[in-house]
Amino acid sequence: MKPKAFEVRRVVVLGTGGTIAGYVAGEVGVADLLESIGAPSGVTLVAEQVAQVDSKDMSFNVWRQLARRCAYWSDVPDVIGVVITHGTDTLEETAFFLHLTLECPFPVVLTGSMRHSAELSGDGPGNLRDAAQVALRPSSAGRGPLVVFGGDVFDARTVTKVHTSSVGAFGGYPGPIGRIDQGPTGPALRYFAGPEARHIYAPPELNARVEVLYAYAGWQGEGYAEAEARADGLVIAALGTGNLPAELLPLVEATHKPVVIATRTHAGPVLPLYGYAGGGATLRRAGAISASFLNAHKARLLLMLLLSLELSQHEVRRVFEEGLF
């Protein structure tokens, strides 16, 4: 991380909309959100509105704007970190996109809320305060984008939304990598793991199309041919450790595009263990690629980036199966 030897330090808060920006009669901008929290001692919070969209409408264009603004602010000497406010439905995908594409010397922290400002016990101000505190700490640098929710600090690779309405909506196996609490002497941030290596995949355009299919008992491949025809690659949220009904095996064998096998199970890796028709071992021999521990929507995003970079299937397999992300 570059040294910051300035009296006034700044944390930039990039707003994109979402529940944290919502209230009954409309929406508020990120500058209004900052009025609900006090700036940390010795730090100035700077508001910048990048977008005002519900997270279901998040797009590559907004992701690219966020990456560009993070890169811009990283060259401003007194800026020590960035916070991104975001709707919760696709927050994990934005975090993972930035994890895969953004080289940034300072902390980038995403947060949001499950309750808007007009509700009792709105969680937005507390989450925003915590995210700002995490963003200004040197110990947060070098970890890639982080997600802060309810005091927990999550890695972008493993974090996922685990509940539709709870204020503790975010989790992900094996759990948070850190915790920030507001103690009697001020905020206390603790990390339980060190930074890990990251690999950057940043195509100029995200122009590959990847479809996600979902396995279920009795699936005989309905929708597979149509998805394959219109996509550059497929991701299947498979069963258990990465198994599919036997009827899918010949479909995968006949597919010349990348087919990545994730799991619909909440946690755990894809392991090519079973040698029966449709088992993980036979799918791998048929050419399928293991998603490792990535869920289906993160596997889709990684595959889109790799295909947009025109990597070969051999190179795509290596990235996924060696965990080069």
Q: Which residues are catalytic?
A: 19
Residues whose CB is less than 8 angstroms from the CB of residue 186 and which lie 6 or more positions away in sequence, other chains included: none
Nearest to 8 by CA among 44, 35, 34: 44
Q: Which class for 32: exposed (0-12), middle (13-18), buried (19 or more C-beta within 10 A)?
A: middle
Structure token digits, residue 94: 């934005």
How much is the CA Rg of the chain, to the nearest whole Å? Answer: 21
End-to-end CA distance of the chain: 21
Q: What is the DSSP string of 116-162?
A: -TTSTT--HHHHHHHHHHHHT-GGGTTS-SEEEETTEEEETTT-EE-
Residues whose CB is less than 8 angstroms from the CB of residue 209 and which lie 6 or more positions away in sequence, other chains included: 230, 231, 232, 233, 304
Positive or negative torsion for Cα 162, 167, 173, 177: positive
Structure token digits, residue 254: 């006949």
Q: Determine the Cα–Cα distance for residues 36 and 243; give it in Å rounded to an integer.
A: 49
Structure token digits, residue 30: 């990120």
Structure token digits, residue 48: 């910048």
Q: What phi, psi does 314 have (nearest 5°)?
A: -60, -45
Q: Which class for 183: exposed (0-12), middle (13-18), buried (19 or more C-beta within 10 A)?
A: exposed
